[in-house]
Amino acid sequence: MITLTCHGAAKEVTGSRHLLEINGKRLLLDCGMHQGGDLTKRLRRDALPFKARDIDAVVLSHAHLDHSGALPRLLRRGYRGVIYCTGATLNLLAVLLKDACNLYLKDLERDNRVRQRRGQKVQKPVYDMEDVLAVLEACHVVPYGVPKEILPGVIVTLLDAGHILGAAMVHLQLDDGGPKGPLRLLFSGDLGNSDSPLMRDPAPVPEVDWVMMESTYGDRNHRSYPDTLNELEGVLEAARGGVVLVPAFAVGRTQEVLFQLGCFYHQGKLEGWHVVLDSPMAIEVTQIYDQWLELMDKEDLNRLTEQGSATLEAFLPCLHLTQNTDDSIALNRVNQGLIIIAGSGMCNGGRMVHHLKHRVWHDKTHIMFTGFQARGTVGRQLVEGEPRIKLFGQTFAVRAQIHTLGGFSAHADQRQLLAWLAAIPGHPKVLLVHGEEEAQRVLWEAIEASSGHSVAIPGVGETITLRD
Ligand SMILES: [Zn+2]
């Protein structure tokens, strides 16, 4: 018997964790964190719904925290097996897990000070940096396209998902000794947007019996990439004589924006502009991208080599990296010709909040959003046109001009999801995961109408029998 239980990213987009059971062994696909809301409270409540010691192996699709963030807790609770992932994922994981751990410990310290003042007991961390280091030591690198037997009867092949650097689809050949031969399952992880720059398109998928696929944008299509580039040019035109703030996510989006600005530079469209990457984490991640340029889209890579650039940084000669807070503060004295890329992507933390404090009340400031803004964030308030926002407990009038660019998404849209599924031979059965209910319902209908695959949407904790 082969079963699959979805312990997260079931009718929701975070906390990706799927437990596969075969031949008395347990294989965990991803071990992600639930995101949104107060970090310390969330981590305390977010117990792992299985015994860590009972897991025999882990395969990680990619480094994003909603797929990897609970790994340190898995090790803290006694997991002693291997974590299989690509080399680029391991590099990114080191940066992301350490950063998340530092943020968590800082938040916990602040909460504990409040508790002490109230005479309450302080809380111990649910994990710390030692657990993060244990995760990194447990990782075993599997390159794309190389089959690897990770448990008796379980062969894993990681295929490029085209989402962020190192992201993989997980192809599993599961041999339960039955007369029908091995069962073949493909877990999509997060699928990339094939129109966006830098990442390659998702690799072709061989014939399989089951597909477990993400459905984040199951109900909509992105604006086309050429349209997005026109918009970007339009923003730079409108912002001449002023400053552009780009709230950016450190992994993926930042590197895509840098690459695109590099293309503009070489087309002579960036004259008079300086670009500043003002985020220590994004700088570190960009350096990791530079180490793995061989994994990038060939055509985009050619654009770099044509200009004699060996790195993304070199491709954009007007790029400056801020090394410390003083450099960041010094930017306040410049009032034109600056494009400042800083985190966080939703303006709820990081250096972007300081830049907003300094510039949001100026009409020569342009703020350019490149990604989804969740409810409750400052980014969402700006996108929705609030006339005033609160930063550091003070009210600021919004005079800056707000722009939203739609085409930089790192996820496949509905059209791309349908085309990806239709290209898989063998007419597999489909399980939809990693999507909100409405997006999943719409995608289900679209799949049934276009290709007639049988579709199911597992709920949290629901076990699906893949083979009796
Ligand atoms: Zn992702």
User: Mean per-residue pLDDT for 372-388?
Assistant: 89
Domain positions in the chain: 2-220+410-467, 225-404
Report the candidate in 327, 316, 375, 385 with the shortest Cα–Cα distance to residue 355: 327
> Over 70: is that where the pLDDT of 210 sits?
yes
pLDDT for the residue 36: 64
pLDDT at 46: 75
CA 95–ligand 1 middle distance (angstroms): 15
Q: How far is the CA of 322 from the centre of ligand 1 (A)?
A: 27
Query: According to the CATH classification, is domain 225-404 in 1.10.510.10?
Result: no
Identify the band that residue 299 occupies on the pLDDT scale cut at 50, 70 and 90. very high
CB atoms within 10 A of CB 433: 26
Alpha-helical segments (H) within 239-350: 253-266, 280-291, 298-306, 312-315, 325-330
State yes or no: pLDDT of 407 exceeds 90.
Answer: no
Task: Check whether 411 has a pLDDT greater than 80.
Answer: yes
Distance from Cα 135 to the centre of ligand 1, integer Å: 19
pTM to 2 decimals? 0.93
For residue 209 the two structure tokens come to: 């019996």
- Ligand 1 mean position, distance from CA 348 (Å): 20
Structure-token match 């035109």, residue found: 237
Tell me the average pLDDT across 421-429. 95
Q: What is the pLDDT of residues 22-53, one digit of tens each?
A: 999 999 999 998 876 667 777 777 778 899 99
- pLDDT above 70 (res 450): yes
Distance 13 CA to ligand 1 centre (A): 10
pLDDT digits (tens, 9 = 90+) for 317-335: 999 999 899 999 999 999 9
CA of 360 to the centre of ligand 1 (A): 30
Ligand 1 centre and the CA of 72: distance in Å?
Answer: 18
Average pLDDT (227-247) is 95
Q: Alpha-carbon distance 316 to 232, whole Å?
A: 16
Residue 190 CA to ligand 1 center (angstroms) comes to: 5
Closest by Cα among 327, 336, 344, 329 to 379? 344
- What distance in angstroms lies between residue 67's CA and the mean position of ligand 1's atoms? 7
- Strands across the sheet with 243-247, in order? 319-321, 274-277, 338-342, 243-247, 365-369, 401-404
Span from the CA of 254 to the centroid of ligand 1 (angstroms)? 14
Average pLDDT over residues 145-169: 97
Q: How far is the CA of 106 from the CAs of 25, 40, 111, 128, in angstroms? A: 38, 10, 9, 11
What's the CA-to-centroid distance between 386 and ligand 1, angstroms? Answer: 29
Q: What is the pLDDT of residue 365?
A: 98
- Residues 426-437, mean pLDDT to the nearest whole number: 94
In this predicted model, what pLDDT tens digit does every residue of 95-117 receive, in sequence order? 999 999 998 999 899 999 999 99
Mean pLDDT estimate for the chain: 94
157-162 average pLDDT score:
98
Instruction: Compute, in angstroms, the gap from residue 57 CA to the centroid of ligand 1.
Output: 21
- Mean pLDDT within 150-168: 97
Distance CA 251, CA 89 (A): 11
* Ligand 1 center from residue 461 Cα (angstroms): 21
% of the chain with per-residue pLDDT over 90: 84
- Give residue 455 CA to ligand 1 midpoint distance, Å: 23
- Tell whether the model's pLDDT for residue 374 goes beyond 80: no
Query: How remote is the CA of residue 106 from the centroid of ligand 1, in Å?
Result: 25
Q: From ligand 1's centre to the CA of 151, what distance in Å?
A: 26
Separation of CA 202 and ligand 1 centre (Å): 14
pLDDT at 456: 95
The pLDDT of 171-176, averaged and rounded, is 97
What pLDDT was estimated at residue 455? 96
What is the predicted pLDDT for the residue at 239?
96
Average of per-residue pLDDT across 250-278: 95
Ligand 1 mean position, distance from CA 93 (Å)? 12
Distance 330 CA to ligand 1 centre (A): 34
Distance 251 CA to ligand 1 centre (A): 10
Domain 2-220+410-467 has CATH 2.60.40.10: no
As residues whose CB is below 5 A from the ion ligand 1, the structure lists 64, 190
What number is the average pLDDT over the span 442-457? Answer: 94
How close is the Cα of 440 to the center of ligand 1, in Å? Answer: 17
For residue 164, the CA-to-ligand 1 centroid distance in Å is: 7
- For residue 61, report the distance from its CA to the centre of ligand 1, in Å: 9
Centroid of ligand 1 to alpha carbon of 64 (angstroms): 5
Interatomic CA distance for residues 389 and 147, integer angstroms: 52
